[in-house]
Amino acid sequence: MKLAGGTKYKVVLNGNLITTYDNAIDLVLSPGINTIKVTTNLECQGVYEETIFVSEDILLSPNPANSTSKLWVGGNDEDVNITLFDITGRVIWTKNDKVPYSRSVNVSFSSIKSGLYILKVNSETINKTIKVIRE
C-alpha cells in the first residue's frame, strides 16, 4: 500500500495497529475478510477504509465431469455451501457440506444433462466459481 500526505501513518489491519513513517507498507492479508483503516497525523487527511476478501483455492476434478467429481477445498473451513447454476443463471441445486479431513467433497452431476454449468462455492474463507463441463 502506498501512503502519501502525512508523515506518520496509523494502519489498522484486522484490528491490529501498525504505525509507520514510511510512504509504503506491505500488508499480509489473511484468508477471508480483511479490514484496513489508515489515518495520518493530519486530521484533514481523513480516513481511508477498505475491506478485501481473500479466497482460499478450490479445485474440481475431473472436469469435464461425468456423474461425480471431487471438489478439493483449500484452507481450514469446516463447512461449504455449493450451488450449481446453468449457463442462464438458474439454480439447479444447492447443498451444504461438511469438509472432511481429506479436504475433498463429492459433487454429483448424475442428475443433469450434458452442457456447461457454473459451480459456486462459499464459506467463511472461500468465494469462488468454477465453470463445469458435464459430459
Task: Identify the CATH number of the domain in which residue 92 sits.
Answer: 2.60.40.3080
How many domains does the structure of the chain reveal?
2
State whether 49 and 63 are in the same domain. Answer: no
Say whether pLDDT at 43 is over 90: no
Is 107 contained in some domain?
yes
**pLDDT the model gives residue 106:** 95
Whole-prediction pTM value?
0.79
Query: Which residues, at least 6 apart from 106, have a Cβ–Cβ distance to it below 8 Å?
Result: 68, 69, 70, 71
56 to each of 24, 53, 111, 131, how far by Cα in Å? 26, 10, 28, 17
Burial readout 22-36 (b: 16 or more C-beta within 10 A, e: otherwise): eeeeeeeeebbebeb
Is 3 contained in some domain?
no
**Which of the four pLDDT bands, split at 50, 70 and 90, describes residue 125?**
very high
State whether 18 and 35 are in the same domain. Answer: yes
> Residue 22: which domain range?
9-54
Say whether pLDDT at 28 is over 90: yes
Q: Please, what is the average pLDDT of the chain? A: 94
Q: Which residue has cell 514510511?
A: 22
Say whether pLDDT at 129 is over 90: yes
